[in-house]
Structure 1
Amino acid sequence: MQKICVIGGSRYFGKLLVKRLQAAGHQVTVINRGSTPPPVGVEHLVVDRNDEAALTAALDARTFDVVVDQVCYTPVQAAIAARAFADRTRRYVMTSTIEVYDPATAALPTVPAGTPVPEEIVDPATWLVAMDLPWHDDAYVEAHYAEGKRQAEAVFTRVGGVEFASVRSAHVLGGGAQEFTGRLAHYVERIAGSRAITVHTKALPTVFIHYEELADLLLWATTADFTGPINACSDGPLDVHDLAAIIAMRAGRGPVYRTVPAGEEASPFSFDRYYAMSNARAKELGFSFSRTADWLPGAVAEALTTEPSPTA
């Protein structure tokens, strides 16, 4: 049994992770702002992680074997957490994102299309951190999501005395209404309603992961013996046409496409730039991934039975 603290953990794969940790026999503490209570038997600290004084006071004399940070989006948040958990944990696992590799958001080494992107393309040990940017502005953080994650990883990487690992997640799907981004629902509702999906002329593939598989990987990461970033994605990249074809088979009607000019925004998962991740490092460390094509039809079936979104 380990003492594990989860920051966030109130919805989707974070909520499932808390349940999996508890089922595995760990002593779990959840820190969030109190929107959703954790399962019975899980300690709940209601505090804003952005308030360093309040966070430090809430932690009191607690120590943990591992902290899993689900909701760190900026280097400022990372620095607050690094100070608050100094000498309180031996291992810190941060949930990061595939978006750190998006070449539209930073000057990154070129990866030929079709070559799975490895972790070293973005090295947090050498990434520049700029704490003086407007990281307290929610609109700025949303617009600079990828850079916020890159810099947060960089802050934690440079903290001494703690094992730091980041899990760079692919696009997460599955769970029906739990999939709060609405991206899969966007496709399901448009294909089922014969409404056009906007795509790029040459749509490039990306990678996905089921929310249950991501929860399992994060559970594994709490006890695995590695530091640094790992990519988390199921086997088998898909482009927007592959995705639509699987949905069309379940919905019983074909997709309708509308091609947009270069540079114009298209539907989610239609990309005109390549940054599909490689999961080779996680496999070498001992984690086994499923195939996207095996679980995606079930995720589509769940989405088809979910109440449609009025804005999709």
Structure 2
Amino acid sequence: MSKVVIIGGSGHVGTYLVPRLVEAGHQVVNVARGHKQPYRPHAAWKQVETVILDRDAAEHEQRFGSAIAALEADVVIDMISFVLPRTQHLVEALRGRIQHFIHCGTIWVYGHNATVPATEDQPLNPFGEYGTQKAAMETWLLGEARRAGFPATVFRPGHIVGPGWDPLNPAGHFNSEVFSSIARGEPLVLPNFGLETVHHVHADDLARLVMAIIDNRSAAVGEAFNAVSPQALNLRGYAEAMYRWFGHEPQLRYLPFDQWQAMQSPDEAAATWEHIIRSPSHSMEKAKRLLGFVPRYSSLEAVQEAVSWLIANGRVASPQD
């Protein structure tokens, strides 16, 4: 088995990935800024070495890459790089010293999809700082894999969902009060006709995909993989399903976006716009073909598990409230 260093392993994906790595027999090192607890307790964490390292400070001092290289990993998984120079700095320190480098990208590298579900061979068309930077990183990494043999793989998560945090809701933002309103059977107003799409993925399916990437290194190196549920949801279908899950008939109204956003907080309106302007819908066929990977959770199953946790922890109203 391998020594695996995961940078940012205490977050959503790491909560599921780290125990899977330990159970598979890997030696695991979690590099984190502090002693943050994972979202779900698991006995496997007792076998994990934690290295406290402030990435921002270490990169400013040009010592982050050497600090990671000094851990002498076989596999490095980078969950938290958001600008190209950070990735380049790390790769130069690791070049020739690791067997596999796995980078967490995003489906936002696609920008506007010309056809759906979008496949990995479609050209990238990002806009906005986040998507543009992530596209630059994965383009550079995969170029290094082709030109210089650097063993890089990229996975592109959708809207990550799991117990312990607020999922992207049917209004296209993250205010959990939307679920409480649906639970009470109250009306919900959606932008436009509610036909724009969102594409969730359960954090454990992301963990399973990373495991498949590690287990199928020869097929994965030099490749990018979508990382989403089997199907996207449009806002209307998502809302209708959640009303019925709570035992109500849907109570939906629609307004043009300009009118709708005037009824929202600026942050929530901006979050919705960022999601629906992209309307992600992506194919998982490549991961199935090359890695034998199939997601276990549908978008609704992933969301409903997360909302059940919110209800149990008093953060979303139950239908009886």
Fold match (TM-score > 0.5) = yes
Aligned position for 2:266: none
SS in 1 for 2:103: strand
Aligned position for 2:281: 276
Shift of 1:294: 4.7
Gaps of 5+ in 2: 39-44, 262-268, 317-321
Q: Does 1:241 align with 2:248?
A: no
Taking structure 1 as reference, are residues 252 and 276 closer, same or farther at Cα in structure 2, changes over 3 Å only? same
Q: 5 Å matches for 1:109-188?
A: 111-112=114-115, 115-122=116-123, 144-159=129-144, 160-175=148-163, 177-179=164-166, 183=174, 185-188=176-179
How many angstroms apart in 2 are the aligned matches of 1:41 and 1:117? Answer: 39
Specify which structure has the higher proportion of helix.
Answer: 2
How many angstroms apart in 2 are the aligned matches of 1:4 and 1:288? Answer: 23
- 242-251 or 20-29: bigger deviation: 242-251
Aligned position for 2:111: 102
- 1-10 or 153-162: bigger deviation: 153-162
Aligned position for 2:319: none
- The question of whether the paired residues in 1 share the 8 Å contact of 2:156 and 2:227 is answered with yes
How many angstroms apart in 1 are the aligned matches of 2:14 and 2:141? Answer: 20
Q: Which amino acid aligns with 1:188?
A: F
Shift of 1:60: 5.9
- The question of whether the paired residues in 2 share the 8 Å contact of 1:97 and 1:146 is answered with yes
Q: Does 1:290 align with 2:300?
A: no
How many angstroms apart in 1 are the aligned matches of 2:178 and 2:205? Answer: 22
Q: Does 1:75 align with 2:84?
A: yes
Q: Percent same amino acid among aligned pairs?
A: 25
Taking structure 1 as reference, are residues 41 and 297 closer, same or farther at Cα in structure 2, changes over 3 Å only? closer
Q: Which amino acid aligns with 2:21?
A: L
Aligned position for 2:265: none
Q: 2:205 aligns with which of 213, 217, 220?
A: 213
Shift of 1:196: 3.1
- The question of whether the paired residues in 2 share the 8 Å contact of 1:4 and 1:68 is answered with yes
- 191-200 or 9-18: bigger deviation: 191-200
How many angstroms apart in 2 are the aligned matches of 1:37 and 1:291? Answer: 24
How many angstroms apart in 2 are the aligned matches of 1:21 and 1:289? Answer: 18
Q: Which amino acid aligns with 1:208?
A: H
TM-score w.r.t. length of structure 2: 0.77
Taking structure 1 as reference, are residues 12 and 171 closer, same or farther at Cα in structure 2, changes over 3 Å only? same
- The question of whether the paired residues in 2 share the 8 Å contact of 1:116 and 1:276 is answered with yes
How many angstroms apart in 1 are the aligned matches of 2:149 and 2:89? Answer: 16
- The question of whether the paired residues in 2 share the 8 Å contact of 1:251 and 1:304 is answered with no
Gaps of 5+ in 1: 104-109, 129-142
Q: Which amino acid aligns with 1:280?
A: E
Taking structure 1 as reference, are residues 231 and 242 closer, same or farther at Cα in structure 2, changes over 3 Å only? same
